[in-house]
Amino acid sequence: MTKFKVLIEGYAKKIKGGWRAASSTTFIESKGKRIIVDPGINRKRLLKELEKQKLDVAKIDYVFMTHYHPDHNLLAGIFPNAKVLDDELMYANDYQTEHQKVIPGTDIEILSTPGHDLFHSSLVFPTDKGIVVVAGDVFWWADNEKRRTDKKSLLSRKDPFVKDKKALLQSRQKLLTIADWIIPGHGKIFKNQRR
């Protein structure tokens, strides 16, 4: 069965003139493959968490980027032997190939979830706790926001960075149909209430 651990709970703090933000970073192990999702932007914190979990950067097989915002993917290059995947391609150094909407050698599905960004994907995988979705910024909260995880609140949430509101709503509906647990781009993992 696929195992996972949220290494970094993403944060997003509005500050004068901008934001202070880093994404949630998740480690997944599936069929012997080790995957980092959204390594983020806070190098010191990521290295500390990897060390704490005894995860060697050289032994990560894949890095998955939910989308191209630097607060989610700036540190993808610190894993020297990892292949990097996005919504449609897999990169091995300067070699690019299309993937089959799964992380190779695993049971982790890559699901297109545009809206927040035009090129956005989420990961879906079975665990002993049910179906887990790493949603990237399909769902996220600023640190000072009240988190509401009922279906109505999740579907109606405003996203100040949305690129396509209609696509984001469809992506949210899709994930709420399949997920038991959701790891948001910024904030704590939550149980999908399905109502």
User: In sequence order, which residues have a C-beta less than 8 Å from that of residue 191 and are 6 or more positions away?
Assistant: 149, 180, 181
pLDDT of residue 195: 54
Backbone CA torsion sign across 134, 159, 173, 84? negative
Distances (CA, A) of 98 to 86, 92, 93: 10, 11, 14
Residue with tokens 């540190």: 75
Distance CA 69, CA 149 (A): 24
Tokens found for residue 160: 């100040």
Are the CB atoms for 130 and 176 separated by under 8 Å?
A: no
> What is the C-alpha separation between 42 and 166, in angstroms, rounded?
31
CATH class for the region spanning 3-191: alpha beta
d(CA 109, CA 192): 19
Closest CA to 171 of 159, 188, 189, 187: 159
The structure's pTM equals 0.96
pLDDT at 135: 98
Q: What is the pLDDT along the chain (195 residues), one digit of tens a residue?
A: 899 999 999 999 999 999 999 999 999 999 999 999 999 999 999 999 999 999 999 999 999 999 999 999 999 999 999 999 999 999 999 999 999 999 999 999 999 999 999 999 999 999 999 999 999 999 999 998 999 999 999 999 999 999 999 999 999 999 999 999 999 999 999 999 875
Domain range summary for the chain, segments of one domain joined by + = 3-191
Contacts of 82 (CB under 8 A, 6+ apart): 36, 60, 61, 62, 63, 76
